Structure 1
Amino acid sequence: MTIARIMEGRSGEIISAESGEKLRAVVARLAEHRIGAVPVMDGERVIGIFSERDLVYCIAAKGDSAFDLPVDEAMTAPAVTATSDTGVLAALSLMTKRRIRHLPIVEDGVLRGFVSIGDLVKYRIDKIEAEAEGMRQYIQAV
């Protein structure tokens, strides 16, 4: 199964930050939408990811003044990305190896989606539970 399947039921809105935007505004957006990370954009191009982890590192290094910095100075760059035809297991493997929790989905250089490791794990659990139920029904029918 591919990431495209996970993205099928979603709205087209992707919460993001713009290059040069102040951390204060980006952090407020994370809190408002109850999310842990946003892709940082330069037009339609993903140039990095800003996450809660980046915020912690930045505050530890800069203190309160961190909130007045542009997001570009705190983000993780370059962003590790995938395409919609990337398999769910391949994406999980990539995220685990790179120790990341969010993955921008990019097609021809344009951001098409943004998935978290939680999205992928939930999808796998749902699939495994459906397969287990199918096996139970098969065994009971025999």
Structure 2
Amino acid sequence: MSTTVGQILQTKPDSGRTVYTISKTDSVYEAIKLMAEKGIGALLVLDGDTVAGIVTERDYARKVVLRDRSSKDTRVEQIMTASVRYVSPQQTSDECMALMTERRMRHLPVMDKGQLVGIVSIGDLVKSVIADQQFIISQLEHYIHG
């Protein structure tokens, strides 16, 4: 029994529908400030209305801090990951975990019929897997003792 991405989005506090974005021409400082304010680890990067990439705290640590760059003088497009992998609401948490493990990613935007409808993190998926396992254990205990 594997939960779908759509089900995971529905359990998130804001229904998982809020996806924070930033322009590719904004400074990395603005991106990190927004992530800190919202308590998130990634932003989708827009070029106008088009998704141009994704920028994460990891990008900041590895491509700004470790290279001794200035976050106020570096644009998001200079450190973002341009090739963004998407999943659909119908995909399972197991499929997403496999993709994240294989690609060493921590965030997956969710697209439905060409529309961006949410984002799932590795934390969201782990929480879902644990809940699924607890449900199975509960059912087995009920079966054994019931």
TM over 0.5: yes
Match of 1:3 in 2: 5
Count of residue correspondences: 140
Q: CA offsets, 1:50-74, max 9 Å, x none?
A: 111100122222x242432221111
Helix, strand or coil for the counterpart of 2:51? strand
Deviation, 1:12, is 2.9
Q: Which runs of 5+ in 2 are unaligned?
A: none
Helix, strand or coil for the counterpart of 1:48? strand
Contact (CA 8 Å) 1:46, 1:111: kept in 2 or not?
Answer: no
- Work out which of the residue numbers 42, 45, 48 in structure 1 matches 2:50: 45
Measured in 2, the distance between the counterparts of 1:82 and 1:54 equals 21
Return the letter of the residue paired with 1:5: Q
Deviation, 1:21, is 1.3
Question: Matched residues, percent identical?
Answer: 32
Structure that is richer in helix per residue: 1
Measured in 2, the distance between the counterparts of 1:15 and 1:103 equals 13
Structure 1 pair 39–67 and aligned structure 2 pair: CA distance change class (3 A): same
**TM-score computed with the length of structure 2 as normaliser:** 0.87
Contact (CA 8 Å) 2:60, 2:79: kept in 1 or not?
Answer: yes
Question: What are the within-5 Å matches in structure 2 for residues 15-26 of structure 1?
Answer: 15-26=20-31
Match of 2:120 in 1: 115
Return the letter of the residue paired with 1:70: R
Measured in 2, the distance between the counterparts of 1:106 and 1:19 equals 20
**TM-score computed with the length of structure 1 as normaliser:** 0.90
Bigger relative contact order (CA 8 A; separation at least 6):
2
Structure 1 pair 47–104 and aligned structure 2 pair: CA distance change class (3 A): same
Measured in 2, the distance between the counterparts of 1:12 and 1:43 equals 20
Structure 1 pair 11–108 and aligned structure 2 pair: CA distance change class (3 A): closer
Q: CA offsets, 1:38-96, max 9 Å, x none?
A: 111234432211111100122222x2424322211111111111111111111110000
Return the letter of the residue paired with 1:71: V
Return the letter of the residue paired with 1:130: F
- 2:104 equivalent to 1:99: yes
- Once superposed, which parts of structure 1, at least 4 consecutive aligned residues long, lie more than 6 Å away? none
